[in-house]
Amino acid sequence: MIEIRRYSEAFRLQVLRELEEGKFASVCQAARAYDIRGSPTIHKWILRYGKTHLLSKVIRVETPKERDEMKEMRKRVRALEEALSDAHLKLKLENAYTKIACREAGIDDVEAFKKKHVGKL
């Protein structure tokens, strides 16, 4: 036998108010706290009572340490992207110089030249 639960309007509004105030990080967390079964239940309440801003609300809770780590990681990513960009540029220049040198030396097959001399350069 399936148990059907009915919630009062006051209860529904209380849950939505607590979501708005940030007591819960997500709709799922509120559902777990009040033992509300059925994933769409609170979403239906949100739509019914015009609290649609709660549907797209993303709350991220971070400690100061996590925030600092995130800043450091972003700096590191930026530095790595710059290093990668520099490496690509350097490789392009080396390839261009190799082609020019091969052309000047009268070597037609640049790839064969590279394979033959790669360890000696």
Number of domains observed in the structure of the chain: 2
Helix (H) or strand (E) holding 80: helix 64-105
Do the domain assignments include residue 72? no
pLDDT at res. 72: 96
Do the domain assignments include residue 60? no
Which residue range(s) make up the domain with 46? Answer: 9-54
pLDDT in tens, 56-97: 556 677 889 999 999 999 999 999 999 999 999 999 999 898
Do the domain assignments include residue 99? yes
pLDDT at res. 60: 73
Q: In degrees to the nearest 10, what's the CA dihedral of 60, 64, 65, 71? A: 70
Q: What separation in angstroms does the CA of 20 have from each of 25, 61, 99? A: 10, 15, 65
Q: Where are the alpha helices (DSSP H) in 5-63?
A: 9-21, 27-33, 40-48
Q: Does one domain contain both 50 and 13? A: yes
What share of the chain in percent tops pLDDT 90? Answer: 36
pLDDT at res. 38: 78
Do the domain assignments include residue 67? no
Residues 108-115, mean pLDDT to the nearest whole number? 82
Do the domain assignments include residue 74? no
